[in-house]
Structure 1
Amino acid sequence: MSVNVLFAAQSDAWPEYEAPLRREIAVVGIKAHLNTDIPADQVDYIVYAPNSDLQDFAPYTRAKAVLNLWAGVEAIVGNPTLHLPLARMVDPALTQGMIEWVTGHILRLHLGMDAHITAAPGTWEPVPPPLAFDTRVTILGLGELGAACATALATFGFDVAGWSRTPKVIDGITCFSGSDGLEAALERSDFCVLLLPST
């Protein structure tokens, strides 16, 4: 039996995603009709990008789930017409990319790299660099991405804390939670990284 999978994203994304999606669907042995134009009452699954023109899920009465293309679901989770289960993407590359982005910027700020990059050519200020263990970083949001970034920064020697709505335990990370914990987490921060969804 074949399933109908609607790819719902900006039209310029289809050429980028079509071949990988077809390949991965075939790898797991699913027979699927994958397309960008399937009548709503014939759609079994929706592969969805937040920049999609699709905003009304009510006509998709046969659909079993919406598969979000990225980890962030804030653009869809509040949609009042969403009556289907919503699955967000979990991909090691997304986590690795976020670790690199956050670590790169914390190191840039911690080491004052902007002053060196924008200095007049041939000018060098011999200022001793700070050490990571003297710098306190707080991650707001200890989901999968936040926890991974906190752990990565701790391996550099930073004094890392994190905050989440509910209590978490992460080796080597001071964890705060709730409204009282938020104030305490912010008070101890030299740098603060915001990894909270807007949900």
Structure 2
Amino acid sequence: MTLTVLFAAGDAAFAEYRAPLTQAFAQHDLKIDLVTKAAPEAVDYIIYSPASTLRDFTPYTRCKAVLNLWAGVEKIVGNPTLTQPLARMVDPALTRGMVEYVCGHVLRYHLGMDVHINAAPGAWVQDEPPLAPERVVGILGLGELGRACASALAALGFAVEGWSSRPKSVQDVTCHHGEDGFKTLLHRADILVTLLPHTPQTENILNAAAFAQMRTGARIINPGRGALIEDEALLAALDTGQIAQATLDVFRVEPLPAEHPFWAHPNVTITPHIAATTRAKSASQVIAENIARVEAGAELLHKVDPARGY
């Protein structure tokens, strides 16, 4: 039987994904009619991203699942018309990209590389950094990406501690949970990496009160979600030195407006949402595998819990 798969992620993405999706479907022995337009009642699966103009899922009565191309689902999970199962993207290449980004910037802060990069000509600075086991790296969020980053940093020898809303266990990582655990991690982290999903509970989780509980001179790396950080509170903490430096890859508004104070702050490093991107070849394999699983009667991988928002 041929399945109709609606690609609702924008024309530019379709041009990028058409060939790798076709190849992935063939590798999983799936007969697929991959289209950008179809009668809603004929659609078996929807491949979706927020770039889509699709907003009303009500007519898609035959659709068995909506497969998100992005790791984040905050743009769709609250849609009241979405009654179909939703899967977030967990792409091995995206995970690897995030691990490389996080480890790179943690090492940059750990080794004090900015001192040397920005040193005046002739400056001979011989500050001796601590070794990795003496540096506490905190990971906010122990989902797929958080666990991968925590494990990679632990393998480098860092004293890694993580936090999640519910109890988690990660080898070689000290795990905290709940409100008390959140406070403990803030108190202990020299470098804090934020990899939480954006939900009503996590919005502005790093605010003035949170920054005040952190070690003076701590560093922050945010490749997670822009709304996790209260911008004005971070700027104030940077100005006082409570937070020494911040590397930010995600923002409430993207591209970050040219007039935003982050651009001009000497202790803020901005990267343009490049920490981890979905790669068409590997993401296509994830999508094909999920469709094959559902067709075989198995559970959808990476299924989103609408009540939790991720």
Q: TM-score, normalised by structure 2?
A: 0.62
Q: Is 2:196 the counterpart of 1:165?
A: no
- Calculate percent identity across the aligned residue pairs: 60
Q: Is 2:24 the counterpart of 1:30?
A: no
Q: Displacement, 1:8?
A: 0.7
Letter of the structure 1 residue corresponding to residue 41 of structure 2: D
Match in the other structure for 2:19: 19
SS in 1 for 2:101: helix
Q: Displacement, 1:130?
A: 2.7
How far apart, CA to CA, are the structure 1 residues paired with 2:114 and 2:54?
A: 42
SS in 2 for 1:29: coil
The farther-off stretch of 116-125 and 131-140 is 116-125
Match in the other structure for 1:141: 141
Q: Is 2:61 the counterpart of 1:61?
A: yes
How far apart, CA to CA, are the structure 2 residues paired with 1:17 and 1:64?
A: 21
Q: Displacement, 1:122?
A: 4.8
How far apart, CA to CA, are the structure 2 residues paired with 1:82 and 1:194?
A: 28
Letter of the structure 1 residue corresponding to residue 141 of structure 2: G
SS in 1 for 2:168: coil
Match in the other structure for 2:183: 183
Number of residue equivalences: 199
Match in the other structure for 2:70: 70
SS in 2 for 1:99: helix
How far apart, CA to CA, are the structure 1 residues paired with 2:149 and 2:168?
A: 15
Structure 1 segments, 4+ long, off by >6 Å, are: none
SS in 2 for 1:106: helix
How far apart, CA to CA, are the structure 1 residues paired with 2:35 and 2:166?
A: 40
1:32-181 superposed matches below 5 A: 32-181=32-181
Q: Displacement, 1:115?
A: 2.1
Seen in structure 2, the aligned counterparts of structure 1 residues 38 and 122 have a Cα distance that, compared at 3 Å, is farther
The farther-off stretch of 173-182 and 108-117 is 108-117
SS in 2 for 1:161: strand
How far apart, CA to CA, are the structure 1 residues paired with 2:121 and 2:29?
A: 59
Q: Displacement, 1:51?
A: 2.4
Letter of the structure 2 residue corresponding to residue 191 of structure 1: I
Seen in structure 2, the aligned counterparts of structure 1 residues 83 and 127 have a Cα distance that, compared at 3 Å, is same
Please provide the CA RMSD for this pair: 1.3
SS in 1 for 2:4: strand
Letter of the structure 2 residue corresponding to residue 178 of structure 1: G
How far apart, CA to CA, are the structure 1 residues paired with 2:90 and 2:61?
A: 26
SS in 1 for 2:161: strand
1:61-119 per-position Cα deviation (integer Å, ceiling 9, x unaligned): 11111011132222211111111001122222121111111111111111121221122
How far apart, CA to CA, are the structure 2 residues paired with 1:137 and 1:198?
A: 21
1:13-45 per-position Cα deviation (integer Å, ceiling 9, x unaligned): 111100000111111111111011112221110
The farther-off stretch of 109-118 and 141-150 is 109-118
Seen in structure 2, the aligned counterparts of structure 1 residues 115 and 59 have a Cα distance that, compared at 3 Å, is same
Q: Give unmatched runs, 5+ long, in structure 1.
A: none
Match in the other structure for 2:220: none
How far apart, CA to CA, are the structure 1 residues paired with 2:69 and 2:94?
A: 11
Letter of the structure 2 residue corresponding to residue 71 of structure 1: A
Letter of the structure 2 residue corresponding to residue 86 of structure 1: L
Q: Displacement, 1:56?
A: 1.5
Letter of the structure 1 residue corresponding to residue 78 of structure 2: G
Q: Displacement, 1:178?
A: 0.9
Q: TM-score, normalised by structure 1?
A: 0.94
1:138-195 per-position Cα deviation (integer Å, ceiling 9, x unaligned): 1011111111111111111111100011101111111001111111111111111110
SS in 2 for 1:6: strand
The farther-off stretch of 117-126 and 103-112 is 117-126
Q: Displacement, 1:121?
A: 4.0
